[in-house]
A and B are shown apart, each in its own frame.
Chain A
């Protein structure tokens, strides 16, 4: 190391060598704002353009699926005689006649199907089914998974071992086979139940097919959630055990409950959000092979399936449900990715 004896470029003054006071010193340190986990995450999320766009799209799809049917002049099971197989924006002859007579006829924006049902409203209802399945199934999975995982993690020991062994076995069961079997078979006892026991008549209101899907998904998909929650509880227990012992008092049960909610919330939200598209995926698959939601209730999967029969004459009919389902799944995936980046960076991959 060489010394550089360059002459100072400025004149020194005795006052320069007076001690600096505290304020002067502190003014140098630029304090970083400390922000809470949630605020910080929320800010990161808001900055993420892709995630925000997906979020807005999802809201729009919700409006499309739940609000617009209220104002739409056609209903999803209404078969308009004489208006079968219309192309998008086309009118049938009776409708043209009505229009000529000066009446207002709402256009079939996406045309009609072979039974004369308006495709647009069916698309709305199909999206509704997809969203319902995704949300309800994920919430059920979240509930069952977190309760099971918390119990296993909290009690630990033999209880944990036994409960996790069950999870392991369910994990090895090829889920899709059982789902298909259950979907086909569960319908009948449910129908019986709805018809014979008045307390269960609501099943018919929601639809046996949908109830079936909810039950089947929550029966098989909770195991992943249970594992995640359990490991979170175990880590927390480990950490809290030390602090709780130090602090003396304060039952660790309460601490765990409080911390599980605050610390694991990020992970749970992200996992649940990413569960939604996979539930939607499976539902559309089931409806496509013909064992999902029962007719006349449309589902994006079953709409695509019927469109295939007329693929040579009406290939465009496939486009609407296909695009819709892909858009919904894509948006939820991107939203989940965004939430993960914002709230749970360590969960990456």
Chain B
């Protein structure tokens, strides 16, 4: 059965979640374009969107409508060709609406898994919880057609483990989209030991159609992206324990966040990133990796303390950032948490200036990430920047170079451990999935 045939009936489980809803937008468009082809007239297409509650599905309905409109607005040049025969549709506005309506018409929204019984492809994007994932995959195996193929979005659970526990006989592949799937170009593709050749091909072809950048990763917990992110974050958390005596927990968090953002020229500081992803998600990532890799050190007491206080970051339903390590006002950092005092210390200009001066006494100006993003000479400029750091011998430059070195080691170990085929894959994942300007494996140091 080829991809076109499989795309006639698809189910997404966990469709109302952050990842599921984005995947739904992508899959729905592809299905709709197929349905609108002349040769497919009369065929029935169905995309089944399954989640736990009706409330969640209502949210999904409005999200999908907005996203489908946006997608149609961006592809109107193509849509005019697709609808060339429809004499009644003349203006862009009419064509955009027609595409949204036609796409919407192939959607089923439901809380009932049994809808998946005719599906040839199933995307799984429920919570990152082994037991639930296995339970759900097991019951889907019973419900779905015997040749149904499963694509799981898990961030860290080994695919072979899921395959074995759910008894799927190799009909599963890791298909790790990045958040938000509609925008992020990267997908890590992870084969289980037994993933069938057919499914491997389907995975590759589908990625091409979505115009995603597919990067293969080995079936080792955390894969490439989170394999790096987990250790990078952990390094920063451990460093905070080291620096807290001198600067307090809040000062140490501030320092590591600033060093990673300004000195390492990243899109956001490491703690802002963990806040964005969610402390809960980060904690469970470490937990899963620790279990599967049997590495005791993949744990942070400091992180656990935050979670005990129910400080978890993540986003509000309107997309604004919730407080985590950092307190946000209008989505901008406005304070840092001091775990000993059990409260946020709001930024005080004098305090901040004092720490900034300690980090960077000569007040060197670093080009921020955004300024270099579109710069044709960014690698050259980054080279100069890191060279400067080497000559500065300041507290900040030392912390930064240490971080840079660690980051590189983590990347190199991913290759050594066989998680990534080569340095190139590691760099591609961090640059595409995390928007770094440079890959962790570089010649700056």
A joins B in a complex? no
Residues of A participating in the B interface, judged by any CB pair closer than 8 Å: none
